[in-house]
Structure 1
Amino acid sequence: MTQPSEQKVPQPEVFKLSPVALLLDIIGMALVVFAGYEIYLNNEKGGGLLVNAISWPYYPWVIMVVGVLLMIPFHKQIFKAYRIVKQYKKEQAKADRPRF
């Protein structure tokens, strides 16, 4: 039997990060870094690592955009986790408020 002074403590929503999204994020970060290095090599050294294989001059920017797109699922999960934590803290503060 519960006492009237006892309150039900809200439980946080269970959340797991996807390992696939984490892997895509790592690959995306590597692509962004590689594209930045290619841009540097093209501008400073006169040619990048892939300049002989790809004749289009804007290929590093495409690689960078693809890298950023690969990072989106992981970051969406992080923002979802942030909203869950924020909601839990709000519910916890409401439950901890003194009753007069």
Structure 2
Amino acid sequence: MTDKQTPTPPTANISLWWLLLDIIGMALVVLAGYEIYLINEKNAGMLAEYFSWPHYPWVIMGVGVLCMLPFHKQVFALFRKVKQYQKELAKKDRPDF
């Protein structure tokens, strides 16, 4: 019989700073969406008097999405580690014939 080692579970090392940046990014995306709504429905946005370029909400939305990327990258990397761990556990638990 072969001796199989137990795989070590992955650790969740998600940064609090990336989470805060993700929250800021979500707020920017919501603000930009509301600004787009106001411009299309009422022809006046909250920030329209400060920006002369008509497509500024899309830039705000893009910045918000860029702020969210590092946190989601960490979450997806952890997801890949968990899936690999599950595969290793399944391989370890297979019976030897």
Percent identity, please. 62
Distance 2:43 2:12 in 1: 48
User: Which runs of structure 1 show a deviation greater than 6 angstroms over 4 or more consecutive aligned residues?
Assistant: none
Out of 65, 70, 78, the residue aligned to residue 81 of structure 1 is 78
Aligned length: 97
Within the candidate set 44, 56, 60, 1:63 is matched to 60
In the alignment, the residues of structure 1 paired with residue 6 and residue 82 of structure 2 have an alpha-carbon distance, to the nearest angstrom, of 15
Contact 2:32 2:61 in 1 (8 A): yes
Which residue number corresponds to residue 15 of structure 1? 12
Quote the offset at 1:43 in angstroms: 0.6
| Mapped pair 1:24 → 2:49 | no
Q: So what's the TM-score if we normalise by structure 2? A: 0.94
- Larger Cα Rg: Structure 1 or Structure 2? 1
Please name the residue that 2:87 is paired with: 90
1:96 corresponds to which letter in structure 2? D
Unmatched 5+ stretches in structure 2? none
1:43-98: CA deviation from partner (whole Å, max 9, x where unpaired): 10110000111111010000000000000000100110010000000000000000
Unaligned runs of 5+ in 1: none
